[in-house]
Each structure stands twice: as C-alpha cells, then as structure tokens.
C-alpha cells in the first residue's frame, strides 16, 4: 500500500504575514518560549568573567563615571533628608540604580537626545548638568531653568539635549519615537535614548511608542529599568511572560536584557545599541534588571509592601557602586583614601549648593503668564492686569517679598 505523500511547506502569502511564515496542518497553541538570558560582564564582586569582554574605557572616564555615581548617592541622602525637614516638597532617590544611568551616559554622545522618566539625574550630571542646577530646580527658585513650574526632580536642559521630565507616566516613549524620526529625516549622526520603568511598560504609550519607532525605523534606544516594583506593585502582579525584553520581538526590534547593576554590561549594551540605531536606522529595546533600594519617592513607604530585610539583603549582596569600586580597585585605579576624600568633597559641594539655592528668591509672579506664547495674547494680558491690581490692593494677602521682581 502506497504511503501518503509528504506535505511540502507552503509560504503564507497573506499581506499581514511576515516573510518566512509557512502553512502547517498541525494545530498548536504556543505557550512556552525560551527565556531571554541576562548579559553581564562582571560578577557581583567586580571581577570580569570573560577576559577581553570589558569595554575599553580610559582611567579618567572610568573615574568620572564612578565619581558621578558617588556624588549622586550623596545628593540623594541630603535631599531626601531635606524633604523630610520640609525644606523641599518632594524627592526621588536613585539608590541601587546608579549603574543604569552612568553606563548609558558614558556610552552615548553629546548630540544624542535624552528623554527621561524621573530617576535619571546621574545621566544628566555626567553630561554636565551641575549639582547647583539640581538644587535650583528642587527649590523651584529664580535660577531654576524651568522657572519653578515643575515639581522637584523634573529637570531639563536645552544645552545638554535633556528633554524636561514629565510627571505623567509614559508620555516620553512616543515623544522619543517622534524625536528619533525627526533625527532620521535630518540625517544627523545621533540617536534618542528613552528611559522608563517596568510600570510604564504597562501603559498604552509604551506599545504606541515602540510600534511607531519600529515601523518608521527610527534611531531610538528604549531603555527599560526593571527594578521589580511599579511603586508598590511587584513585577509578578504587573505582567506574565518573560519580563519586558520579550516584547521587543513582537515589534520586530533588536532586544537585549542586561544586568542593570553591572555598569560595564550597561555600557557595552548601550554602545552597541547606539551603533544599531545610528548606522542601521533601527530602534533597540534594552531591559536592565536592577533593584530599587530606596522608597519609590518621599510620598511612599516601601515597608508597607516589601520586608525591610529584602532591601537590606540587596544592599549587602549587590550594590552597583560597590561592584564598580571593586573593579576599579582591582585595576589599581582607586583606593580607600581616595574614597574618603571623594565622599567628603562631594558632601561639601552639595551642602554648599543646597545652601546657596535655599537663599535664592522664588521666580517672579509674572512667570505665570509667560513662555506659552511668543507674544502674550489679549486674554492673558487682561488676566495679568487683574492679578497685578489684586496684589496691589491686598498686599497683606499677597506677600511678594519672597519672589523676584518682574523683569521689564
């Protein structure tokens, strides 16, 4: 008896099918996928695991990266306490996530455009955004580049290609895709980097932004800092599947998962992602696994949803600052004496900047009406005149002594 002829694979020709899809007579629902590995260069003790895999970063640049990490850490300690004392209204620390910021900042170029979420001050500081400017912004004083219109830690700088932070969760993702498309059309040798957390990846803007970037083939690096918690919601309650990196495949995007506490792995991944984005005009998704040691913000008490022992264990087990320090010490580039001198110098500089910012007056009240239009329209002129009359009529109710005078 002759056997049935073997079925030959037939390509699927429907317009919605990707190239390579074939018909099958076997009904299968896919549910098991290979888990994406996590790329690293160093172990938790700062030892390079594969000789030659570490990036070729000079001693001076390596020390700049490390010193910025320490400076950020010291600034966090001081400003967190300042908020608790009622001297600023709000703050968010970066404890445990410093490597994600300095590894990316060092791997990118000055022309690359930055879109952040709210926990990226270290990136900005590496670019040249000063501690003094951080203090002015947190106080919302007259020297704040944002003129006191934003909450603390909502930094921005045209000089350093830093788009101003937004309070809502996720809008920077489609904005970054649009900015990257503009860079592509301009022919500029630059890309966009967009930071967001695992919680923001649950927003609709995440999917819209990645799809826009993928279909327009725009040079953008989407950098997800997965610290395990969306404020109080742990990752296992946020999503099923293999984290955030697994979503990159669905958008046809180059994707990698890295150890976010390994600054050298973050540097390598970002450097290659930039090459893909700029040279191949393709978006890249990086998921950096890390751990948020601090509370989500000064409005949060993380002990309500995670045990304090979990946090202390992480601090002992894998601090990104300590890991990089051990690496530097192994190379003979750092010592305990230099460490103590650095921390003392950082604290002195930060307290000096803090004290100076505290003495600066608040922005002029007239800034309520400016910077939306090139020329103030009649209705805003009318509103301003009414407010001026009201403040003049009731000076005891509108004490302007703390505000800078209006600039004519």
By annotation, the residues acting in catalysis are 292, 296, 305
Tokens of residue 171, six digits: 């809008």
DSSP H/E element including 115: strand 113-115
Terminal CA-to-CA distance of the chain, rounded, Å? Answer: 101
Burial of 147 (0-12, 13-18, 19+ CB in 10 A): middle
CB contact at 8 A, 192 and 179: yes
DSSP string, 151-207: -TT---BTTTTBPPP-SSSSTHHHHHHHHHHHHHHHT-S--EEEEEETTGGGSHHHH
How many angstroms separate the CA atoms of 344 and 348, rounded? 6
Q: Distance of CA 166 to CAs 65, 115, 148, 173, 293, Å?
A: 26, 9, 14, 11, 23
DSSP H/E element including 222: strand 220-226
Q: Give the residue among 121, 107, 189 at the shortest CA–CA distance from 153.
A: 121
| Vertex 125 angle, CA 123 and 126, to 5° | 65
Q: Give the residue among 330, 258, 325, 246 at the shortest CA–CA distance from 287.
A: 258
DSSP H/E element including 70: helix 59-84
- The radius of gyration of the chain's CA atoms, rounded to the nearest angstrom, is 25
């Amino acid at each position: 008896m002759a056997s049935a002829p073997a079925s030959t694979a037939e390509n699927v020709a429907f317009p919605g099918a990707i190239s390579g899809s074939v018909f099958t007579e076997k009904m299968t629902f896919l549910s098991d996928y290979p888990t994406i590995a996590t790329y690293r260069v160093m172990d938790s003790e700062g030892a390079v695991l594969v000789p030659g895999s570490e990036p070729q970063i000079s001693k001076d640049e390596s020390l700049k990266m490390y010193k910025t990490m320490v400076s950020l850490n010291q600034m966090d300690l001081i400003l967190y306490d300042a908020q608790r004392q009622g001297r600023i209204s709000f703050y968010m620390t970066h404890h445990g996530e410093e490597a994600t910021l300095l590894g990316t900042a060092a791997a990118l170029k000055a022309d690359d455009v930055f879109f952040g979420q709210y926990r990226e001050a270290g990136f900005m500081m590496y670019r040249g955004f000063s501690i003094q400017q951080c203090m002015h912004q947190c106080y919302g004083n007259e020297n704040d580049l944002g003129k006191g219109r934003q909450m603390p830690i909502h930094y921005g700088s045209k000089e350093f290609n830093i788009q101003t932070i937004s309070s809502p969760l996720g809008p920077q993702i489609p904005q970054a895709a649009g900015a990257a498309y503009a860079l592509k059309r301009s022919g500029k040798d630059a890309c966009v980097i967009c930071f967001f957390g695992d919680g923001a990846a649950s927003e609709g803007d995440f999917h819209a932004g990645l799809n826009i970037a993928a279909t327009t083939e725009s040079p953008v690096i989407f950098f997800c800092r997965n610290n395990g918690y969306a404020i109080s919601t742990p990752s296992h309650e946020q999503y099923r599947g293999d984290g955030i990196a697994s979503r990159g495949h669905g958008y046809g995007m180059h994707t990698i998962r890295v150890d976010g506490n390994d600054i050298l792995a973050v540097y390598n991944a970002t450097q290659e992602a930039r090459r893909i984005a700029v040279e191949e005009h393709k978006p890249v998704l990086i998921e950096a696994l890390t751990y948020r040691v601090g509370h989500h913000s000064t409005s949060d008490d993380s002990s309500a949803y995670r045990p304090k022992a979990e946090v202390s264990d992480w601090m002992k087990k894998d601090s990104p600052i300590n890991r990089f320090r051990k690496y530097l010490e192994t190379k003979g580039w750092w010592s305990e004496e230099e460490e103590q001198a650095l921390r003392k110098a950082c604290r002195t500089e930060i307290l000096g900047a803090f004290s100076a910012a505290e003495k600066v007056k608040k922005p002029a009240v007239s800034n309520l009406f400016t910077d939306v239009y090139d020329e103030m329209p009649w209705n805003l002129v009318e509103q301003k005149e009414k407010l001026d009359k009201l403040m003049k009529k009731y000076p005891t109710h509108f004490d302007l002594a703390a505000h800078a005078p209006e600039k004519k």
